[in-house]
Structure 1
Amino acid sequence: MTRERREAALRRHGLTETQDGFTVTLAGFQKAAERARGLRAQGNQEAARMLALGTTDPVRWEHAKCLQIDAFSKESHESGF
């Protein structure tokens, strides 16, 4: 994966990279919520707990970031980055 493709993948997953790691953008938070709803429908209890939290709860944002990092990591791995 080229640097440009990596940056595009980060944007697609709603992540930005900082010195301290990744942060999730509002778009990433929304995508993570969609993913969590799908996981909850499959019986995932962690996703259900995440969705039960308020949208301003920092723990929900942390879960969202983890979901998006997971999706980004899978895409990166599949592309050979």
Structure 2
Amino acid sequence: MSPEERQEALERHGLTETQDGFVLSLRGFQRAARRALELRKQGDQEAVRMLALPPDDPLRWEYALCIQIEAFRDEWYESEF
């Protein structure tokens, strides 16, 4: 994955990389919430707990960040192999 492709993938997943790690945008949070709905349908208990939290709960945002980092990592991995 070229640096340009990597940046596009980060933007697609609503992530910004900072010196301290990743930051999730509102768009990324929305994408993660849709993914959590899919995971809930598959019986994922973490997704059930995440979706039960209020949208402004910091734990919900942390879970959403993890979902988007995982999606970014999967996309990067698929592009490399």
TM > 0.5 between the two? Answer: yes
Matching residue of 1:10: 10
RMSD: 1.0
What does residue 21 of structure 2 align with? 21
Could you tell me which runs of 5 or more consecutive residues in structure 2 were left unpaired when the two chains were aligned. Answer: none
Offset at residue 7 of structure 1 (A):
0.2
1:59 corresponds to: 59
User: 2:46 matched to which residue of 1?
Assistant: 46
* Structure 1 consecutive aligned stretches of length 4 or more whose deviation exceeds 3 Å: none
Following the alignment from structure 2 to structure 1, what is the Cα–Cα distance between the partners of residues 26 and 14?
A: 7
How many Å apart are 1:12 and its aligned residue?
A: 0.3
Q: Deviation string for 1:2-61 (max 9, x for gaps)?
A: 000000000000000000000110000000000000000111110000000000000000
Counterpart Cα distance in 2 of 1:49 and 1:31: 17
With structure 1 as the length reference, what TM-score do the two structures score? 0.98
